[in-house]
């Protein structure tokens, strides 16, 4: 789950986020939950380069495009991926491209564990933050297609009295962030750089209702439908609506409707488990005492706004199936791609973000949660998809970090000859539980 860089946190805007769209079995319990320096500094391992020759499977290598142009594109993508970990912006980076249903490039760079220097695994899982929103929006829109509700239904009819202005808020306004509902992650409880969060609050369990109750402590940002403002609370409420209509948890519905039919074996929507199952890179926060390992946390702090776990291969499969028309009827998919006319929402549809590039329009979502940043994009025709994960570490120079992310995205989507993408159109790599949008 991430926060919107266009929305100030308690009146302040983080410079490193200005260029971004509103967009990132565990290794066992930590010996101590307090942040502690590790013996190996970021970038000191010989494993900090790309590992395509080592980690891509034989099938992956066979899938790589054989043309000279294709080989150049993937070599450039390898270099762009290394450009994220070499300067220390992240401790690991993973990327994948799928074309016409075929995985044509997948790689990893950096280390999965700073303590051991174990290389990052292209198959590794990671927390996807707000990219979860696209899974949740798709599930809700399936219910719309089944006539279980309408996009213009009032929130008050579905969840009476749940938030102020509920009689004036529609389901559509929740999905496209025009409801004006306060973002619960503005609360100090989600200031994840605090020592108390690192040692204690990151294991705090939350129900969806508890997250909404936190949001209700704050006044609405604007009257419903009058502006645009990214709020994680909107998608917590979408999760509650799914549960109300189906009688099942939002996780069960996403699993039943999307994860199982698409055979997304590396994807899960956890409840309170702090672990990332299967192989994965550790996530870290930079502190005065050194890297703090934040891989373990209670994902209920993000709920249906950002608790998901996935892989680059699964994300490309999902967004390809979505935009290829396999998950939604045409009418609901068209609604999903109808962007808001208000402010920063002009590139935001219903749980789906638009990125315009020299090689066409792409749709997807980015996400961030402590330690992890994610980007998932697919072409409007469903033929080409890209996904990447960065275990963000040292982004003191946010402009440079965003530029490196931009280079990877441009190369993966459009090839070596593509000009740099407009920085204002590409979701940046800086994740944040409290500042959505990634």
Give the pLDDT score at 23.
Answer: 27
- Residue 5 pLDDT grade (very low, low, confident, very high; cuts 50, 70, 90): very low
Question: What is the pTM (predicted TM-score) of this model?
Answer: 0.85
- Using DSSP, state whether 378 is helix, strand or coil: strand
Query: How confident is the model over 209-228, as pLDDT tens digits?
Result: 999 999 999 999 999 999 99
CA 417 from centre of chain? 27
Question: What does the block give as tokens for 224?
Answer: 């419903």
| 3-class SS shares of the chain: helix, strand, coil, % to 5 | 35, 15, 45
Label residue 419 by pLDDT band (50, 70, 90): low
Do 269 and 307 contact (CB within 8 A), yes or no? yes
> What is the tens place of the pLDDT at every residue in 264-279?
999 999 999 999 999 9
Q: How far apart are CA 109 and CA 107, in angstroms?
A: 7
Residues 6+ apart with CB under 8 A from 160: 166
What is the pLDDT, as a whole number, of residue 415? 83
DSSP class of residue 418 equals P
pLDDT digits 0-9 by tens, 301-340: 999 999 999 999 999 999 999 999 999 999 999 999 999 9
CB atoms within 10 A of CB 330: 9
Please identify which residue in the block is written with the tokens 């680059």. 312
Task: Report the b/e string of 191-222 with b at 16+ CB within 10 A.
Answer: bbeeeebbeebbeeebebeebbebbbeeebbb
Q: Which of 18-32, 35-49, 168-182, 384-398 has the lowest mean pLDDT?
A: 18-32
pLDDT digits (tens, 9 = 90+) for 179-203: 999 999 999 999 988 888 998 899 9
296: phi then psi, degrees, rounded to nearest 5: -90, 125
Decide: residue 46, CB within 10 A, 0-12 exposed, 13-18 middle, 19+ buried.
Answer: exposed
CA angle 404, 408, 409 (to 5 degrees): 115
CB-CB contact of 4 with 47 (8 Å): no
Contact 306, 1 (CB under 8 A): yes
Mean pLDDT, the chain, whole residue set: 83
Q: Which of 45, 92, 130, 389 is catalytic?
A: 130
Looking at per-residue pLDDT, the higher value among 419 and 281 belongs to 281
Winning range, highest mean pLDDT, from 227-231, 395-399, 401-405: 227-231
Confidence of residue 423 (pLDDT cuts 50, 70, 90): low
Spatial neighbors of 213 by CB under 8 A, at least 6 apart, are: none
User: 45-350+377-425 sits in which CATH class?
Assistant: alpha beta
- Confidence label for 427 from pLDDT (cuts 50, 70 and 90): low
Going by pLDDT thresholds of 50, 70 and 90, the confidence category of residue 52 is: very low
Euclidean distance between CA atoms 215 and 234, whole angstroms: 10
CA–CA distance, 176 with 333 (Å, rounded to integer): 14
Average pLDDT rounded to a whole number, residues 91-103: 96
Give the per-residue pLDDT at 27.
23
Question: Residues 6 or more apart from 157 whose CB is under 8 A from it?
Answer: none
What CA–CA distances, in Å, run from 97 to 42, 44, 72, 267? Answer: 27, 28, 14, 17
Cα angle value 188/285/37 (rounded, 5°): 125
Of 13-22, 79-88, 234-243, the one with minimum mean pLDDT is 13-22
Percent pLDDT > 70 in the chain is 78
Q: Per residue in 60-87, is it b (16+ CB within 10 Å) or e — as a string?
A: beebbbeeeebeebbebbbbbbbbbbbb
**Does residue 55 carry a pLDDT above 90?**
no
DSSP per residue, 343-365: GGGGGB-SS-EEEEETTEEEEEE
Q: Is 130 a catalytic residue?
A: yes
């Amino acid at each position: 789950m991430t926060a919107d860089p266009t929305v100030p946190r308690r009146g302040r805007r983080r410079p490193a986020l200005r260029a971004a769209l509103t967009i990132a079995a565990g290794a066992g319990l930590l010996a101590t939950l307090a942040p502690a320096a590790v013996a190996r500094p970021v970038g000191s391992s010989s494993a900090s380069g790309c590992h395509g020759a080592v980690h891509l499977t034989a099938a992956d290598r066979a899938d790589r495009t054989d043309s000279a142009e294709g080989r150049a594109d993937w070599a450039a993508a390898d270099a762009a991926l290394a450009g994220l970990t070499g300067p220390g912006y992240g401790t690991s980076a993973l990327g994948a491209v799928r074309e016409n249903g075929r995985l044509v490039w997948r790689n990893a760079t950096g280390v999965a564990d700073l303590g051991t220097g174990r290389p990052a695994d292209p198959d590794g899982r990671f927390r996807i933050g707000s990219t979860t929103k696209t899974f949740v929006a798709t599930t809700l829109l399936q219910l719309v297609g089944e006539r279980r509700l309408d996009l213009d239904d009032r929130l008050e009819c579905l969840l009476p009295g749940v938030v102020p202005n509920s009689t004036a808020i529609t389901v559509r306004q929740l999905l496209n962030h025009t409801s004006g509902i306060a973002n619960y992650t503005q609360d100090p409880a989600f200031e994840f750089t605090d020592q108390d969060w690192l040692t204690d609050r990151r294991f705090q369990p939350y129900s969806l209702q508890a997250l909404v109750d936190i949001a209700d402590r704050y006044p609405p940002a604007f009257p419903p439908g009058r502006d645009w403002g990214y709020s994680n609370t909107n998608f917590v409420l979408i999760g509650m609506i799914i549960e109300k209509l189906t009688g099942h948890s939002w996780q069960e519905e996403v699993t039943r409707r999307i994860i199982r039919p698409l055979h997304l074996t590396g994807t899960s929507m956890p409840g309170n488990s702090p672990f990332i199952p299967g192989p994965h890179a550790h996530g870290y926060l930079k502190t005065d005492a050194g890297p703090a390992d934040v891989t373990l946390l209670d994902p209920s702090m993000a709920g249906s706004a950002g608790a998901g776990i996935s892989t680059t291969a699964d994300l490309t499969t999902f967004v390809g199936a979505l935009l290829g028309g396999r998950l939604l009827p045409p009418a609901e998919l068209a609604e999903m791609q109808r962007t808001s006319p208000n402010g920063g929402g002009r590139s935001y549809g219903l749980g789906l973000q638009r990125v315009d590039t020299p090689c066409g329009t792409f749709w997807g979502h980015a996400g961030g949660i402590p330690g992890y940043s994610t980007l998932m994009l697919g072409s409007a025709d469903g033929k080409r998809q890209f996904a990447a994960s960065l275990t963000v570490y040292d982004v003191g120079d946010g402009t440079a970090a965003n530029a490196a992310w931009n280079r990877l995205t441009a190369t993966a989507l459009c090839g070596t000859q593509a000009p740099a993408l407009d920085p204002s159109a590409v979701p940046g790599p800086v994740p944040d539980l409290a500042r959505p949008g990634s």
